[in-house]
Structure formats: C-alpha cells, structure tokens
Structure 1
Amino acid sequence: MADDDVMVWHPADVLSDRPNLHEKSALIILNQPLELRESFYRRVWDNSTLRVAADGGANRIHELVTSSSQKLELDLVVGDLDSLLPEVRDYWTEEHVKIEHDPDQFSTDFTKAVKHIWTAERKDPINIVALGGLGGRVDQGISVLHHLYMFQKSYDSGKMYLLSSECVTFVLKSGKHKIKAQASFQGVRLNKHVGVIPLKEPSRITTKGLEWDVADWETEFGGQVSTSNHVVEEWVTIETTKDVIFTIDFEISPEDLARPSQDNVKP
C-alpha cells in the first residue's frame, strides 16, 4: 500500500505459496492459452478470493482441468458468450458456476469481468490478477496492454497485474514507486529482466536498483525506451512524471514449464 506517498509493490505475491500475503486479490482468466502446468496456476488460484472467466477463458480452464487430476474452481463466467463452447458451458453449469450473458458489444469480455469485480458497491479495494498472455498475435497483445492501462485509472479500487507464462506486468501511475523485485517462493522466483515502458505519452523517469539506473530520463515511443534492464537490488524505486508500464520476468521450476497441449488436436 502507499507509504508516505510511495506506492509499494509485491509482484511476486501473485505466485506465492502463502495465499493473500499482503493484499486480497481476484482472478480474471482471459481467452489466452494457459501454457504451464496446473501446479503453477494452482498458486494463483489459492491466492484469489474470487475467480472470473471472461467468456472463452472458461474454455481455457476447462482444457487445463481435464488434462490434470485436480480442479480449478470458478465463481463466474461472464461475457457475450460467443466463444464459450457448448460442452464447456455444460461442464461449468454442472459445477454450479454462474454463467452471466452480457450482450453489450461496446465493451470487451475483459471489461465486463473487471466491472463485475470493481463494482461501485465494493467497499474495500481488491487487486485483480488478469491471467492472459502477451504472446501470439501482436494486436491481441497490444489490446491487453491497452486494457491494463485503461483500467488502472487510480488505485482506489485496487491494483491490476497481468500475469503471462513469462512475466508479470502492471501500471505505475505518476509518482514514486517501490517494488520488491527480488523475491522467491516455492519453485518460482522473479528474474532480473525488467522494462519501464510509456504507452500514452512521454514521461521522465528516475530509477534506483537497476543495472542501468537513470535520472530524470525522458522516455517515449519513437525516442528512448527502457527495455531489457536488469535488477541488481532487492528493492527497485521508480519515480515517473506520467503513467508507465512496468514488467518483470520470472523463473519457474522445470516441472511447471510445460504441459500436454490440446490446442492443435483435431477431433
């Protein structure tokens, strides 16, 4: 939480084997391939008090649970449901999961899931971990980053993390941030590669704790952009004049790296 106008981040907590280490969180599963084993995603599930599949995200979880021996529970499937497979809908219905049809064509399924969690009626902040990849099609990856940026207008409702199979990404609002960039849990640890990326507009950033620290450094698309920097201290501080994206990769145990995939199997 904020401490003397410094926003403190514990990104590794979303992968902790000790649920809800610092802050409560909800989970959104996007319609993206889940490329790691169930044991990896189990950590994220156990850290979440609410699990919502955004339309076709329910297909992805169904594939994962049917290829493993354990269940990953859902609380809700929400969206226009044009991607939800009939057999998957039957499966979640039998599991007593609520399926909510929202036909609004002017909002994405990601948006609908976020609105369900960050409602006006919710009194206490709750973080959101959005489970979805940045790999594959470039336009889809940019769309996910666009939504991440768009949703994080403030931290009043909570923080949002985008968790892919390789990294965790979040928005640093203008101001000063302190990030625990060296942390590990059972079989998972944050790695050293980071990026600080402006999306909407140019910013000036000052960093401490990176191999190539900068002071009052202007960054913008078409100019200088900080990618492939390295963490050298446990805590990294970043001060930014405008909102930027922060991303850090992680390492996981070999047994979590791959699982049998059904993506290319034809009936």
Structure 2
Amino acid sequence: MAATAETTWHPADVFSGGPKSHKESALVVLNQPLELHASVYTKIWGNSVYRVAVDGGANRIHDLNISSKLDFAVDLVIGDLDSLLPDVRKYWEQKGVSITHDPDQYTTDFTKAVNHIWSSERAHPKDITVLGGLGGRVDQGISVLHHLYMFQKDYTPGKMFLLSSEGITFVLKSGKHKIKARENFGDIYLGKHVGIIPLKEPSTITTKGLEWDVTDWETDFGGQISTSNHVNAEWVTIETTKDVLFTIDFNTASQESG
C-alpha cells in the first residue's frame, strides 16, 4: 500500500469526563434504550460541551433522570417530534431547553441533529459521541451504521463515535490509522474484542497489534471479514484501501459486578 498520513484515535476519550483532543465534543442521544450505569453517562455528559436529544431520545434522557435521580441536561431537542411525549416536552420546556420542530421528511432526525452541530455557523469543529444501540429492528440498526458512513465523509468537522451498551464503533477512512486500544478512565475499560467490517465495499487491509494480524488481506461483506479478533498491544494500526467500520467492546466495573 502507498504511504499515507496517519489518523490517531483515542476511543476511550468518550469516557474521559473532559475533552482530551484539540476538538470539543458534542453528544447526540437517539431514541434507543440507555442501558449503561448512570456513572458512565455522568462521564459522557462531562465530556460534552453541547448535547442534543433526537426526538424520542428526549424521552430516554427524561426516564434516565427519573430513575437515577440525577440531572442529565440537554441543550436542544430536535426532530419531527412524532415520538416526543407531551409530558416529556413539558419537562424540558420547564428547564428552558430549546425544542426545534423540523418536519422535513427527506432527512432523518439523526441527520437534523448532526447538521445542526456541524453547521458552518457554529464556531468550532466538534467530535460527536452518538448514544444509540444496534439492537432491536435490523433496519434501524443498519440505518445507524449507514449514517456513520454518510456523516464521516472526512474528519474536518470532527470524528463520530457510536456508543452502544457494549462497545464503540467508528469509521476508518481509506488510509492508515493508529488506535489506542488499551486504555481506561476509572472503572471503564476498553475490551479485547475487535471487528473490522467493510460494510460499504470490499477493501484490502493490513493490521498490527491484533492477535490475528493480516497483511494485504482482502475483506468483503459476504466474503471474509475480521470479527472477534483480539487486541494484542496497546496500539493497533490498520491500513485500509477503502472505508471500513472499526468496533471495539468495553466493560465497566458495574457491568462486571452485575
């Protein structure tokens, strides 16, 4: 493969409780169950300078606040608002939260939220952490992954991380990447299980730092793909000819004790 500039990743920074990179971090909450321990969300909220609930995601945060007796704040609720419950809308309005009704049926509510954060009118680029699982309906899960590809045309506006209840997923653009795969903040640890998935198109990858490294290995959805690989070093490097999804699991002390 030809030499390319290297992109460095610190996926555990989403748990840091404070921005670690040169970019500020924003949070997008989808209408999906929030199943992690409240202490994990406390760190994620602390790492975010701007927080957006996507339509029914406002219901999920409201429920989290009630169950945890904490106050996870949002700056904006946006979408066509067909899932926002009336009592929840009143809850956020009483807190002074801006609620934006965008009825455009040619863009998803997820897109509306990201466009708002990454609009040219906003002062600084921001990485985005997206809270949204891949469980439930298959089409909804595929849609979330589709949006990761769609939004991550490049890394100029910021990097995007999808955080489910079990792992972190992000898009590696064609080129060379260096990922810090062994890191923790307090009792939250990156795990050992890794997947490299060519969801969009076939790719050729070279890896270093995994238990089963490959060199100039052709990977194709429906053909051979690297799943359930294991981290074998602090840093993992991946060189890919096309965009691929990278996913790594994580664990917390609260999950282990539960």
Aligned-partner residue type, residue 230 of structure 2? H
Residue in 1 that maps onto 2:42: 42
1:37 shift after superposition? 2.2
Deviation at residue 217 of structure 1 after TM alignment: 0.4
Deviation of 1:140 after TM superposition, in Å, equals 1.1
Say if 1:40 and 1:256, in contact at 8 Å, map to a contact too.
no
1:81 correspondence with 2:113? no
Count residues in correspondence: 254
Does the aligned pair in 1 maintain the 2:204–2:240 contact within 8 Å? yes
Give me the whole-angstrom Cα distance separating, in 1, the residues matched to 2:140 and 2:255.
28
Offset at residue 199 of structure 1 (A):
1.2
Worse-superposed segment, 178-187 or 122-131: 122-131
The C-alpha deviation readout for 1:78-133, integer Å capped at 9, x for no partner, is: 00000000000000000000000000001111000000000022343210000010
- Superposed counterparts of 1:245-264, under 5 Å: 245-254=245-254
d(CA) in 2 for partners of 1:257 and 1:69? 21
The reply on whether 1:227 has 2:231 as its aligned counterpart is no
**Is the contact between residue 37 and residue 257 of structure 1 (CA under 8 Å) also seen in structure 2?**
no
Query: How far apart are residue 255 of structure 1 and its match?
Result: 6.2
Q: How far, CA to CA, are the matches of 2:241 and 2:166 in structure 1?
A: 28
Q: What does residue 15 of structure 1 align with?
A: 15
Letter in 2 for 1:147: H
- State the partner residue of 1:261: none
TM-score norm. by structure 2 comes to 0.96
Amino acid at match of 2:186: Q
Matches within 5 A, 1:23-172: 23-172=23-172
Distance 2:257 2:110 in 1: 26
Unaligned runs of 5+ in 2: none
Q: Is the 8 A contact 1:173 1:243 kept in 2?
A: yes
Q: Distance in 2 between matches of 1:229 and 1:255?
A: 22
Counterpart-to-counterpart distance in 1, 2:229 and 2:92: 43
**C-alpha distance in 1 between matches for 2:82 and 2:136:** 21
C-alpha spacing 1:81/1:201, structure 2 compared with 1 (3 Å)? same
How many Å apart are 1:232 and its aligned residue? Answer: 0.5
Note the alpha carbon deviations across 1:10-56, whole angstroms, 9 max, x for none: 00000114x11224110000000001222111110000000000000
Measured after TM superposition, the shift of residue 256 of structure 1 is 8.5
Q: In angstroms, what is the RMSD of aligned CA positions?
A: 1.3
Residue type at the aligned position of 1:248: I
Matches of 1:245 and 1:256 in 2, distance apart?
27
Determine the structure 2 residue equivalent to 1:205: 205
* Counterpart Cα distance in 1 of 2:256 and 2:13: 18
Q: Residues 24 and 124 of structure 2 are in contact (CA less than 8 Å); yes or no, is this contact kept in structure 1?
A: no
| CA–CA separation in structure 1 for the residues paired with 2:124 and 2:231 | 33
Q: Secondary structure at the match of 2:119?
A: coil
Q: Show the counterpart of 1:265.
A: none
Q: Matched residues in 2 for 1:217 and 1:161: separation?
A: 25
Q: Secondary structure at the match of 1:20?
A: coil
137-146 or 98-107, larger mean C-alpha shift: 137-146
Taking only the aligned residue pairs, the percentage that are identical comes to: 67
Runs of 4+ in 1 over 6 A off after TM superposition: 255-258
Q: Which sections of structure 1, spanning at least 5 residues, go unmatched? A: 259-267
